[in-house]
Homo-oligomer: A and B are copies of this chain.
Amino acid sequence: MLNSIPSFTRLVSELAKFPGIGNKTATRLAFFLLRQPEAETEALASALLDLKRRTRFCSVCFHITEEDPCQICTDKGRDDTLICVVEDPQALLAIERSRSFKGRYHVLHGALSPLDGIGPADLKVAPLIRRLEQGTIQEMLIATNFTVEGDATALYLAKLTQHLGIKLTRLAYGIPMGSELEYVDEATVNRAVEGRREL
């Protein structure tokens, strides 16, 4: 009988595209929206459209931002000699939350994964090398995830930048194996940044 309400079924199928949200949850969410005042739904719809219209990736570090360059890249209080390389904006935010790192960042937007056909050209590797070649950076903290792909990416970057004579570090163990940084608690991330070791 839901077939007779196309706008309802369409919303359910759109909501079910979210990761971790199946058809039943999507239906529950749609019924919830149905009971909300129209202004609430409009606020959500406009927030959705705004996200895409207003945010972009910083042309320097590739973090999400509304202004280019982003607030981290333009922050004069940060250490220009130190750069932290992460897989995604979520990982950057996890490190920021730990308040243990005061350098610059570089977001790769992924990790090497030959099985998924993701090579260096699919990541923001080339802009990273250009930043390193400018000569200001003295230490690169490779904070890719502690997964097979993250470790492979760290190793790849280490080899690729060997000739630049930059000190390479990796987050200290203490972060559970196989974790994604986004879900690690702040205190653990803090310890891991403080105890970073030379690669």
A51 at interface (Cβ–Cβ under 8 A)?
yes
Size bracket of the A interface: 35 or more
Please tell me which one of the listed residues B6, B52, B54 contacts residue A66 in the complex, with CB atoms under 8 A apart: B6
Inter-chain CA distance A72–B19, complex, in Å, is 34
CB atoms of A1 and B71 under 8 A apart: yes
Inter-chain contacts of A44 with B (CB < 8 A): 14-15, 17, 48
On whether the beta carbons of A50 and B11 are closer than 8 Å, the reply is yes
Given contacts A18-B29, A65-B4, contact A42 B51 (CB under 8 A): no
Known contacts: A19-B28, A28-B19, A64-B34. The answer to whether A48 contacts B5 by CB under 8 A is no
Q: Can you report 28 A-B residue pairs in the complex whose CB atoms are below 8 A from each other?
A: A1-B71, A1-B93, A2-B93, A4-B65, A4-B66, A4-B67, A7-B47, A7-B53, A11-B47, A11-B51, A14-B44, A15-B44, A17-B40, A17-B44, A18-B32, A19-B29, A19-B32, A20-B25, A21-B29, A27-B90, A31-B89, A31-B90, A33-B52, A34-B51, A34-B55, A38-B52, A41-B48, A45-B49
Given contacts A4-B67, A33-B48, 15 further A-B contacts (CB under 8 A): A1-B93, A4-B65, A7-B66, A8-B51, A8-B64, A11-B48, A11-B50, A14-B47, A15-B44, A20-B25, A27-B90, A41-B49, A42-B49, A42-B52, A45-B46
